[in-house]
Chains A and B, each alone.
Chain A
Amino acid sequence: MTDARSALATRGSGAPVVVVKGVSKTFESSGGRTTALENIDIAVAPGEFVSLIGPSGCGKSTLLRLIGDLTAPSAGSITVNGKPARQARQDRDYGIVFQAPVLFDWRTVQANVALPLEVKGLARSEREDRVKATLDLVELSDFARHYPYQLSGGMQQRVSIARALALRPSILLMDEPFGALDEMTRERMNSEVQRIWEQTSTTVVFVTHSIPEAVFLSSKVVVMSPRPGRIVRVIDIDLPRPRTDDTRETARYFELITAVRETLRGRAGRETPGDVASAERTLAEGAVG
């Protein structure tokens, strides 16, 4: 990490939060057997922001669901915070955000954010404190008593991010969280997520279709290819932080976007800038480290 700011100093170092080793996932259906993921190795260091990007069918969402123990691997192992993914889920190490906000429409904003805290069984006073702090973080305190249907799509998604952060999870899983938003809202949400990520010590695994989004947010972009889902390449994103709207206009930003795009097109190594190629390393190496 080139950024010297103390809040970020420990990011990207230390024992990995997530270790995926030799993971494959096959689905059986009447049409036969589909290999969604084949022999995936990946390691995510504490505080990293890792994006999974690739065309439809590359298994990026499946990989996210495997890490979150929402589905089980056909082969291989997944370790989170040094324990099996199942145990990590039982210990409530995860926060999760889907493409749709999936808010409970009978609960107010604050009651939606309180939901994971209720499930954990926290006392009311502690719940209220945490909800307040989390709503402050996503800047929605003024809407605490609103119902979800009274909010815009972008605000609803911020509520769902607040809900995911309420338990102060060590790892935040985001599955195309801004895929349903318009481009302007999406950029605003990206800046927001970046700010939240910097203010918390959360590790993020982020699935997206959008190359600019992946480059803007991530410390690492994992490029995947489909049928069967594989990791093609891992690209380190060395843009300085904090990233702002100006970052989106720098030459380096465009270089990295081009690098990701060409990797997605399967032309990696030929036309990518040399410094990107040198920054690249496979996640398998990271897993060992």
Chain B
Amino acid sequence: MQPRSPFRAIVRGTLLALLFVAVLVAVWEGAKALGGDPWRFKDAAGNETVYRPPFAWPIVSDLSLPHVWKIWDALAAPVQRQQAQSLAGFLVGAAVYTGREAALGFLFGGLLGLALAAGFVHSKLAERAFMPYIVASQTIPILALAPLIAFAFGNGLVGIVIVASYLTFFPVTIAQLRGLTSPDPRAVELMRSCAASRWTIFWKLRMPASLPYLFAALKVAATASIVGAIVGEGNPGGSQFGLGRAILNFNEQYASGPEKLWAAILAAGLLGLTFFLAVRLMELFALRGRPQAAVG
């Protein structure tokens, strides 16, 4: 019945994640060894040998699924011919750029979601009036909306942050409203019985009770904000930088260098993971001491 130590949870989580990566690489290369394209390697004696897989499956050909080591090599190679910067360095820069936009979108979207939920919990009328539009807003594909936002707010940071916020405020609004209304009605009566104001009830009861719901939503929002930032950058005439632009460029160059697109996807994935882990760390801190079921 002791609260789980956050440190042990993190170590265990990291080990499991590394194990998963190892299994993924093994399956990936195993599939290529069975049905990929032939490849050359140097044997123990230093002679160049050709390995020929027994089958030929198009889905694991070098064009569809480059070797893991090719992606690794590409990361160290220059991003373009005659450029000093390596692909890895370029992707880190792009990820930082995109991460900044996503973090701002996460922040503003999260705050908007919190504010809307706080408003709705105190006014059923406001909830009835606005909730249908909030739900409807999410049925519009972001791909259709992003160019409109870019048109209105320009191709710079502001437009991209708005796209990212647009994807993040919704899960936060819905989950936070659920969280703020989660306390037992008797807990609210208890607060009223000692003459607590709405404000006090909000900060001492509703807000702490909502945290497990909030963090569940923030995990969704953390990754959604990155999707939003990447989509925002990828707009026609969108950003010149960032992972979104890199993904579009490497997509065009796919036939000549599939490793680059895979590397960019890997970078986007790692950025998402970083965001997710940051939220998870905040959650472990904010929910310390609570029963394990609430910490998740």
The answer to whether A and B belong to the same complex is: yes
Taking a contact as CB atoms closer than 8 A, the residue among A94, A104, A163 that contacts B205 in the complex is A104
Binds B, one of A45-53, A115-123, A195-203, A261-269: A115-123
Interface centre among A70, A90, A163, A173 (most CB of B within 10 A): A70
Q: In whole angstroms, what is the CA distance A91 to B193 when docked?
A: 10
Chain A residues, Cβ within 8 Å of B184? 100, 102
Residue interface bits A49-89, CB-to-B below 8 A is 1, else 0: 00000000000000000001010000000000000000001
Pairwise interchain contact B189-A96, C-beta atoms closer than 8 A = yes
Q: Which of B74-82, B104-112, B194-202 contacts A (4 or more CB under 8 A)?
A: B194-202
Q: Is the CB of B195 within 8 A of A119?
A: yes
Contacts of B18 in A (CB 8 A): none
B195 touches A89 (CB 8 A): yes
Q: What separation, in Å, do the CA atoms of A70 and B287 have in the docked complex?
A: 31
Contacts of B119 in A (CB 8 A): none
- By a CB distance below 8 angstroms, the chain B residues around A102 are 184, 186-187, 190
A119 and B194: CB pair below 8 A? yes
Shortest Cβ distance from B116 into chain A, in angstroms?
24
* Residue A254 CB within 8 A of the other chain: no
Residues of A within 8 A of B289 (CB): 106, 108, 147
Which of A98, A108, A116, A150 sits near B194, CB closer than 8 Å?
A116
- Could you say which residues of chain B place their CB within 8 Å of the CB of A68? 193
Q: Are A104 and B193 in contact (CB under 8 A)?
A: no
- Give Cα distance in the complex from A149 to B192, angstroms: 24
Complex alpha-carbon distance, A149 and B3, angstroms: 10
From B193, B200, B205, B208, give the contact of A96 (CB < 8 A).
Answer: B193
Q: A105 contacts the other chain (Cβ, under 8 Å)?
A: yes
Expressed in whole angstroms, the Cα–Cα distance for A98 and B289 within the complex equals 24
Q: How distant is the Cα of A89 from the Cα of B193 in the complex, in angstroms?
A: 6
Given A105-B294, A149-B1, A70:B205 Cβ within 8 A: no
B-chain residues with CB within 8 Å of residue A252 when the two chains form the complex: none
Q: Are B291 and A105 in contact (CB under 8 A)?
A: yes
Q: Are B195 and A106 in contact (CB under 8 A)?
A: no
Q: Which A residues form the contact surface with B (CB < 8 A)? A: 68, 70, 89-92, 94-96, 98, 100, 102, 104-106, 108, 115-116, 118-120, 147, 149-150, 163, 167, 173
